[in-house]
A = this chain, B = another copy of it.
């Protein structure tokens, strides 16, 4: 570990040397991840803005399309937000005709969520620029490289709940 003596100017002690690899920390990856995610999310943001929606709507539309028939509880579990946070966003999507609710056939307390045609089209439109970006990033990469990236993205996540697909 390199010891960096801080500068002094009057009474203030400060550091003028860049933090690079203190303790073997890979700041390049940390920053790369930040910038990559920010830019990744900016494309759909621009589309959403035109509909008066935000990121929260994006996530809901996405997961309802990915798993039609999921319940409100499922969605809360996936997004890790509170019921009240979801409520407003979900209501807007239902009122705007992107998502519809149906009472669960077995348990009628449940509200099963499905995309309408508009909802499916929106999900596709939002995914399209992200797909292009991924394609560009993958360009010229081997199958091994691509597998490594999938593995990396999985490895960066918290251990997913084992009983995620155990519900009914």
Interface set of A (CB-CB < 8 Å, partner B): 6-7, 9, 12-19, 22-40, 42, 59, 62, 65-69, 80, 100, 102, 114-117, 119-120, 123-124, 127-128, 130-131, 133-134, 136-139, 141, 144-146, 148-158
If A6-B117, A14-B68, A29-B153 are given as contacts, then 19 extra A-B residue pairs at C-beta distance below 8 Å, sorted by A number, are A14-B116, A15-B115, A15-B119, A16-B68, A18-B65, A23-B124, A26-B131, A27-B66, A29-B134, A30-B131, A31-B66, A37-B37, A39-B158, A40-B156, A141-B148, A141-B151, A144-B145, A148-B148, A149-B149
Known A-B contacts A15-B114, A16-B114, A22-B124; the reply to A102 vs B32 at CB < 8 A is no
A148 partner, pick from B25, B100, B145, beta carbons under 8 A: B145
